[in-house]
A = this chain, B = another copy of it.
Amino acid sequence: MVAQETPPILSPAEWEVMKVLWDHGQLAARDVFARLPQGHGWAYKTVKTLLSRLVAKGALAYDQVGNSYLYRPAVTRQKMTRAEVRSVFRRLISEASSPVLAQFIEEADLTAAEIRQLKRQLDEKRDRPAR
């Protein structure tokens, strides 16, 4: 097995950009800018800076097309989410993780189907506790 790469650490602003790329697959800078949720109020140049930093961090890759780049994720969303959730757990928890999890459930916006699935996951965890 290849060495386990530690995914890069992303700032909140960088996460916003990554989400657009994960949702759309491959975009030029201008299109990332256009697809960001309004309300950020970022200048186009700000988005360009974030894209460059993400490339530098290894979170994005790009293909050159003419004189411009098509950016695409270089790490999967799942991998990044996993790493971030781990990091949050380490940060917030000193003993039991259950209260933090409860808080998470409280915050979440869930459909009945999702609730079923999460309960199933808890059952599996109960039946197979160690990882």
Identify A98's interface contact among B12, B99, B107, B117, CB under 8 A.
Answer: B117
Residue A114, interface by CB 8 Å:
yes
Give the oligomeric copy count. 2
Distance, CA A73 to CA B51, complexed state (A): 39
Cβ of A15 and Cβ of B92 under 8 Å apart? yes
Closest 10 CB pairs of A and B: A98-B114, A97-B108, A19-B94, A85-B103, A115-B126, A115-B122, A15-B91, A104-B104, A89-B107, A101-B108
Residue A5, interface by CB 8 Å:
no
Cβ of A114 and Cβ of B94 under 8 Å apart? no
Cβ of A81 and Cβ of B94 under 8 Å apart? no
**From DSSP, what is the main secondary structure of chain A's interface residues?**
helix
Residues on B with beta carbons closer than 8 Å to the beta carbon of A84: 88, 91-92
Residues on B with beta carbons closer than 8 Å to the beta carbon of A104: 85, 89, 100-101, 104
